[in-house]
C-alpha cells in the first residue's frame, strides 16, 4: 500500500457522474475511431468489436456551453451528450448540484442493449 496516498486522502471537492446508455454511438465507425485513437477513459479494446464492457467516460464543463475535454468527438455525438445533460440539468447547468458546479461532469457512455 502507498501510505502517502492514503494519508493525503480523498479531495474535499466532489464532482458529478452521470450515465448515458448510447449503443447507437458504439455502432458508428467515426466514434470507434475516435475512442481508439484519442485520449479517453475507456474500457473498450481497440481493434475489437465493442461490447457491454466498452464503456467510455467523457468530461463536460458544468455550464453546458459546449466545452469539455472531449468536445472534439464527432459533432452530432457531442451535441447529443450536451442535449441529454441540458434536458436533465437545464440549458446552463443551473440544476447541477452546488457541490459539483465547479468541476467537469463525468459522462459515462454505456453500450447496453435496449428493448
Q: What is the pLDDT of residue 17?
A: 94
Q: What is the pLDDT of residue 21?
A: 97
The residues that bridge with 59 in the sheet, in sequence order, are 106
Q: Report the C-alpha gap between 15 and 64 in whole angstroms.
A: 15
Q: What is the pLDDT of residue 11?
A: 79
Q: What residues of the chain score a pLDDT lower than 50?
A: none
Q: What is the pLDDT of residue 35?
A: 94
**Where along the chain do its domains lie?**
15-110
Q: What is the pLDDT of residue 106?
A: 95
Label residues 70-91 b or e (16+ Cβ within 10 Å = b). Answer: beebeeebbebbbeebeeebee
Q: Report the C-alpha gap between 33 and 99 in whole angstroms.
A: 35
Helix (H, G, I), strand (E, B) or coil at 108: strand
Asked whether the whole model's pTM tops 0.85, one would answer: yes
Amino acid at each position: 500500500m502507498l501510505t502517502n496516498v492514503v494519508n493525503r486522502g480523498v479531495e474535499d471537492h466532489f464532482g458529478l457522474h452521470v450515465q448515458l446508455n448510447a449503443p447507437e454511438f458504439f455502432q458508428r465507425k467515426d466514434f470507434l475511431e475516435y475512442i481508439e485513437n484519442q485520449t479517453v477513459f475507456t474500457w473498450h479494446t481497440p481493434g475489437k468489436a465493442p461490447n457491454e464492457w466498452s464503456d467510455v467516460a467523457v468530461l463536460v464543463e458544468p455550464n453546458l456551453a459546449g466545452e469539455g475535454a472531449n468536445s472534439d468527438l464527432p459533432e452530432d455525438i457531442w451535441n447529443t451528450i450536451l442535449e441529454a445533460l441540458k434536458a436533465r440539468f437545464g440549458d446552463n447547468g443551473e440544476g447541477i448540484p452546488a457541490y459539483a458546479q465547479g468541476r467537469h461532469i463525468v459522462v459515462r457512455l454505456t453500450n447496453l442493449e435496449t428493448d
